[in-house]
Amino acid sequence: MGERYNIHSQLEHLQSKYIGTGHADTSKFEWLTNQHRDSLASYMGHYDMLNYFAISENESKARVKFNLMERMLQPCGPPPEKLDD
């Protein structure tokens, strides 16, 4: 029983420390938004990937970086309507 509590406690700590890990009340939209933002941030952080996108889109690296930043605002579109129960 003690080990189960310890694992649960570690998981709660991890979820409070890192937003992208989610929690029990994370909606599908929030989880998907976190995944998209993590991917976009990774693309911006890896210089070679940024170069690849710039060449394939025939744009400057600064323009590609700007477009990725713009997409981070609402990567999955506007949030869905919340239902009041």
For residue range 1-50, list pLDDT tens digits in order. Answer: 566 667 778 777 777 777 767 777 788 888 899 899 999 999 999 999 99
In a domain, 60, yes or no: yes
| 56 is a domain residue | yes
Identify whether 45 is part of a domain: yes
C-alpha pair distances (Å), 27 with each of 7, 24, 38, 54: 23, 9, 17, 33
Residue 7 lies in a domain: no
Range of the domain at 47: 27-73
Does residue 15 sit within a domain?
no
Residue 83 has what pLDDT?
A: 72
Q: Does residue 48 form part of some domain?
A: yes
Whether 2 is covered by a domain: the verdict is: no
Element (H, E) at 7: helix 2-17
Domain count, the chain: 1
Sorted by sequence, the CB contacts under 8 Å of residue 51 that are 6+ apart come out as: 61
Whether residue 12 lies inside any domain: the answer is no
